Amino acid sequence: MDCGPTCIRMISKFYGKSFDGAYLRELTSLRGDGATMGGLVDAAENIGFGTLVLSSDYKTLAEQIPLPCIAHWRQRHYVVVYEATATKVVVADPGHGLITYSRQDFLKGWIPEKNANEDSEGILLLFETTPAFFSQEDNQISSKSVKGFLAPYFRPYQRHIWQLFLGLFLASLLQLGLPFLTQEIVDTGINTRNLNFVTLVLVAQLVLFISQSGLSVIRNWILLHVTSRINLRMLSDFLMKLMNLPISFFESKSTGDIMQRIQDHNRVQAFLSATTLDVLFSTVTLTIFGAILYYFNPQLFLVFIIGSALYMAWVLLFMKKRAKIDYQYFDQSSGNQSSTIQLINGMQEIKLNGSEKRRRWEWEAIQARLFKLNMASLSLSQSQNEGGRVINEVKNILISYIAARSVINGELTLGAMLSVQYIIGQMNVPVNNFIAFIRSYQDAKLSLERLAEIHNKTNEENVDELLISELPEDKTIKVSGLNFRYGSSTSALVLNNINFQIPQGKVTAIVGASGSGKTTLLKLLLKYHDLTDGKIEIGNGNLKNLSYNFWRKQCGVVMQEGYIFADSVARNISESDENGGVNRKKLAHSVHVANIGDFVEELPNGYNTRIGSSGMGISGGQKQRILIARAVYKDPEYIFFDEATSALDANNEAVIMRNLEAFFKGKTVVVVAHRLSTVKNADQIIVLDKGSIIEKGTHVALVQSKGYYYSLVKNQLELGS
């Protein structure tokens, strides 16, 4: 999904500039189905490139096209072409790195036609640098900002951190005596056959071991206390951040992507709780035992340092490849999450359409890709681990040889040699801990970068913005010169030059064929998106200057895709109650208006019956009535209904519409609907077609004019021919 922005990032780097991936994704107006070519053009020109999109055959690409450029790959992907010759093409695939294709293999991916030949054409995006590009400042997220991400979470626990350091210091002091006690057992106790001395030293070692174990238990409890609370605070902050992001953000991210980022917190917690303390303790241990080893024999110390440095260098060689696999695994895991959720939620449709095999094959294809990544990760880990183990064992054997030779030559006592072996064993553990820390740090860093991408996004409502939290006296909504498009500036307008008013205290209906822009217009009135052009005013005040939270508190909304929570009927209806309680009087009124009382009374536990994904299933009509009751319970100034009665039978709809007429009195109402029975009593009707207003008026006036509206209602057989 991020391949387009990643390609622009690679080309920018080729010309010496580094841009943050999240920034480029924002510039490309990335949506759930990925970036469009128009979005890539917008992003590239925004950072100072001149661009040209063209169709080209292979000969032109190889001989005339300036490289690097972006090629549209397999009609759903983008790659960067770095080199094209008569026989081969070198591309950078965001998912797989540098790949060299033969001419024929490249043509199969670049040109969508089944029988592609040398004269067939594929799509290219060409780049040319301008002075504006070189004047841009790099906006790559610095490692400092990622490291600093954790600092605020640790500040409240400074006392606990000092306790951890005190424990480390005491444990280190206890460790200091162990090598010398080992030496004394052999050189003094055994050589002089003094059993009492040996017993005394062993008792001393036992006391030191028990003391170390006690300190370790205390340290681990303190660390668990701190890291658990930090992780809970981080996860809570992440969810708070998600709730503060604009609704448009969730239209550009899949459920699996967001779920994977939530799971990234587990890797951060594992890093904080396991490896962080280990590496601190290992640093102290390595320093103390390194000094003791140097005291016994500087040559042994030098061999250990060189061997350990080679071991760590070997491990570090694989880190870049490991990071690449991690990114690929994140993308595939996001797809796997979304696919699994889709399978579960869509099981009814799958069974009704007999598409079990098709959906299972799609799921298995994702599992196959995950398996390949797991195999690549395992292969990498084996190369990393086994190579490191060979280096480590060679180092240990060499140290043992030098120590044994020193004993034979009289340079070391036998007790000192055993102490050296003990020291080497103790020093190998910190080295392995450092290796584990490097891997865990890389995992946590990648996770923190993904989390920081969310935290760095602009909130829907910033605290430093002076937004108004008060409605003007004149509550009429005025829409002037409104244009809107999804995605990039090259995308077609969804709404074009919309001008109309929604009078205060009146009912305005918006009708039109499917895809005419009705729901989009409603979403703009609810501040889902920023307008491309024009303005929406309430009285004489611009809706843009009104607080998002305040405005939505004034609105009772039923959308087509309204959501029923896994909760009781009462709590679903009272969703707008900020205190989480239920006002029984308001609940009874909203249930009456939505004509849902009989349904609730038949439920096993009445209002306390759980519905939604973890409770009792409900029909589409019952769902819509609960959503209507939710809007009525809120008792707002403005009402916005988007096909709110489309799933209701005629009798229920008639009762609810009568009840709503009384409820609508004094409120400003906007109703989007296809059914004539829902809109015919509106004070005004706005008729949309292909994103433009083509008619306005009352039902009677529009029918008499026999225009587009007349054809809509006539097709419903509500009027005779």
Distance CA(411)–CA(296), nearest Å, equals: 10
Backbone angles phi, psi at 7, to 5 degrees: -65, -45
Residue 261, C-beta contacts closer than 8 angstroms, at least 6 positions apart: 238, 450, 451, 454
Distance CA 59, CA 320 (A): 35
The predicted pLDDT at position 116 comes to 63
Given pLDDT bands bounded at 50, 70 and 90, which one contains residue 558? very high
657 by Cβ neighbours in 10 Å (0-12 / 13-18 / 19+) ranks as: middle
Binned at pLDDT 50, 70 and 90, residue 534 comes out as very high
The residue ranking higher by pLDDT, 35 or 311, is 311
Residue 694's H or E segment, with its range, is: strand 692-697
Please determine, for residue 694, whether its predicted confidence score (pLDDT) is greater than 90: yes
* C-beta of residue 635 within 8 angstroms of C-beta of residue 643: no
Band (pLDDT 50/70/90 cuts) for residue 614 is low
Residue 664 has φ and ψ, to the nearest 5°, of -70, -15
Retrieve residue 65's tokens.
């096209």
For residue 719, what pLDDT is reported?
A: 45
What is the average pLDDT across 627-632? 94
- Statement: residue 144 has pLDDT above 50: no
In angstroms, rounded to a whole number, what is the distance separating the alpha carbons of residues 277 and 174? 18
Return the pLDDT at 527.
92
Residue type, 561: E
717 pLDDT tier (thresholds 50, 70, 90): very low
- Asked if the model's pLDDT at residue 175 lies above 80, the reply is no
| Helix (H), strand (E) at residue 516 | none
Distances (CA, A) of 320 to 46, 99, 407, 431: 30, 17, 44, 21
* Res 180: pLDDT: 67
Residue 317: per-residue pLDDT: 85
Collapsed DSSP state (helix, strand, coil) of residue 513: coil
Q: What is the mean pLDDT of residues 167-171?
A: 72
Say which residue the tokens 């094959």 belong to.
361
Quote the tokens at residue 192.
Answer: 């002089």
Q: Give 574's pLDDT tier (boundaries 50, 70, 90).
A: very high
Do residues 251 and 31 make contact, with C-beta atoms less than 8 angstroms apart? yes
- Do 273 and 157 meet the contact criterion of CB atoms below 8 Å apart? no
Q: Which of 473, 546, 525 is nearest to 670 (CA)?
A: 525
Assigned token pair, 513: 């064929």
Q: Helix, strand, or coil here: 36?
A: coil
- Residue 355, pLDDT > 90, answer no
The predicted-structure confidence for 268-277, as pLDDT tens digits, reads as follows 877 776 666 6
One-letter amino acid at 425 equals: G
Query: What are the angstrom distances between the C-alpha of 415 and each of 26, 181, 403, 607?
Result: 66, 9, 11, 80
Higher pLDDT, 580 or 644: 644
Those residues whose C-beta lies under 8 Å from the C-beta of residue 678, and which sit 6 or more positions away, are 509, 645, 653, 657, 671
β 610-611/567-568 pair status: antiparallel
What phi-psi label fits residue 515: left (phi over 0), alpha (psi between -120 and 50 degrees) or beta? left
Phi, psi torsion values for 176, nearest 5 degrees: -55, -35
Per mean pLDDT, which range of 32-41, 189-198, 239-248, 643-652 is the poorest?
A: 189-198
The CATH code for residues 3-140 is: 3.90.70.10
- Residue-level pLDDT at 464: 52
Alpha-carbon span 688 to 691, nearest angstrom = 6
* Confidence grade of residue 243 (pLDDT, cut at 50, 70, 90): confident
* pLDDT tier for residue 537 given thresholds of 50, 70 and 90: very high
Amino acid, res. 640: F
Residue 37 φ/ψ, nearest 5 degrees = -60, -40
Sheet holding 495-502, edge to edge: 495-502, 477-484, 533-538, 541-542
715 Cβ neighbours under 8 A, 6+ residues apart: none
CA–CA dist 78, 94 (Å, integer): 8
**pLDDT confidence band for 535 (50 / 70 / 90):** very high
Least confident of 105-114, 333-342, 344-353, 712-721: 712-721
Amino acid 25 reads R
pLDDT band for position 720 (cuts 50, 70, 90): very low
Interval 45-100: pLDDT, tens: 888 898 898 988 888 888 888 989 999 988 888 999 999 998 889 988 887 778 88
What is the phi-psi region of residue 574: left when phi exceeds 0, alpha when psi lies from -120 to 50, beta otherwise? alpha
Token reading at 446: 């990648």
Burial class (CB in 10 A: 0-12, 13-18, 19+), 409: exposed
Kindly indicate the confidence band of residue 551, based on its pLDDT and cuts at 50, 70 and 90: very high
Confidence of residue 143 (pLDDT cuts 50, 70, 90): very low
CA distance 181 to 165: 25
Find out whether the peptide bond into 68 is cis, omega within 30 degrees of 0: yes
**Could you give the 3-state DSSP secondary structure of residue 120?**
coil
- CATH superfamily membership of 144-455: ABC transporter type 1, transmembrane domain (1.20.1560.10)
The predicted structure's pLDDT at residue 634: 93
- Which pLDDT does position 497 carry in this prediction? 94
Given this model, what pLDDT does residue 672 score?
93
- What angle do helix axes 276-296 and 414-455 make, rounded to 10 degrees? 150
The secondary structure element, H or E, covering residue 315 is helix 298-316
**Residue 138 per-residue DSSP state:** P
* pLDDT band of 136, cuts 50, 70, 90: confident
Nearest Cα residue to 71 out of 18, 121, 13, 146: 121
Q: How many other β-carbons are positioned within 10 Å of the β-carbon of residue 288?
A: 18
pLDDT for the residue numbered 689: 92
pLDDT category of residue 637 using cuts at 50, 70 and 90: very high
Burial class (CB in 10 A: 0-12, 13-18, 19+), 628: buried
Q: Which SS3 state, helix, strand or coil, does residue 605 take?
A: coil
Strand 668-672 to 638-642 pairing: parallel
Rounded to whole angstroms, the Cα distance separating 717 from 375 reads 62
Q: Average pLDDT, stretch 542-559?
A: 91
d(CA 25, CA 598): 50
Residue 36 confidence (pLDDT) above 60: yes
Average pLDDT rounded to a whole number, residues 686-713: 90
Q: State the Cα–Cα distance between residues 59 and 120, nearest whole angstrom.
A: 10
> Which residues are within 8 A (CB) of 304 and not within 5 positions of it... i.e. 6 or more apart?
290, 293, 395, 399, 424, 427
To 5 degrees, how large is the angle CA 449–CA 451–CA 454? 110
Give helix 195-244 / helix 158-176 axis angle, nearest 10°: 160
- Domain at 503-516+545-682+693-715, CATH from 3.40.50.720, 3.40.50.1000, 3.40.30.10, 3.40.50.300: 3.40.50.300
Mean pLDDT, all residues of the chain: 83
Whether the pLDDT of residue 569 is over 60: the answer is: yes
Give mean pLDDT, residues 690-716: 88
Span 605-629, average pLDDT:
84
54, 96 Cβ separation under 8 angstroms? no
Report the percentage of the chain scoring pLDDT > 70. Answer: 89
Token digits for 142?
């610095």
Q: Is the pLDDT of residue 140 over 70?
A: no
If you average pLDDT over residues 140-144, what whole number do you get? 49
All residues at 6 or more sequence positions from 568 whose CB lies less than 8 Å from its CB, including other chains: 605, 607, 608, 609, 610, 611
Q: Given a cut of 80, is residue 417 above it in pLDDT? A: no
What is the pLDDT at residue 201?
Answer: 64
Identify the residue with better confidence: 694 or 254. 694
Is the pLDDT confidence value at 139 over 70?
A: no
**What is the reported pLDDT for 29?**
74
Tell me the C-alpha distance between 689 and 543, whole Å: 25
Between 32 and 718, the higher pLDDT residue = 32
Confidence tier at 164 by pLDDT (50, 70, 90): confident
**Is the pLDDT reported for residue 113 higher than 70?**
no
Q: Is the pLDDT of residue 496 over 90?
A: yes
Residue-range domain boundaries for the chain = 3-140, 144-455, 503-516+545-682+693-715
Torsion 452-457-461-466 (CA) sign? positive
| Residue 721: band (very low, low, confident or very high) from pLDDT cuts 50, 70, 90 | very low
**R_g (Cα) of the chain, nearest Å:** 34
Phi and psi of 205, rounded to 5°? -65, -40
Tell me the CA distances in angstroms from 543 to 322, 527, 667, one per residue in order: 49, 8, 18
Q: Please compute the mean of the pLDDT values over residues 123-131 and round it to a whole number.
A: 89
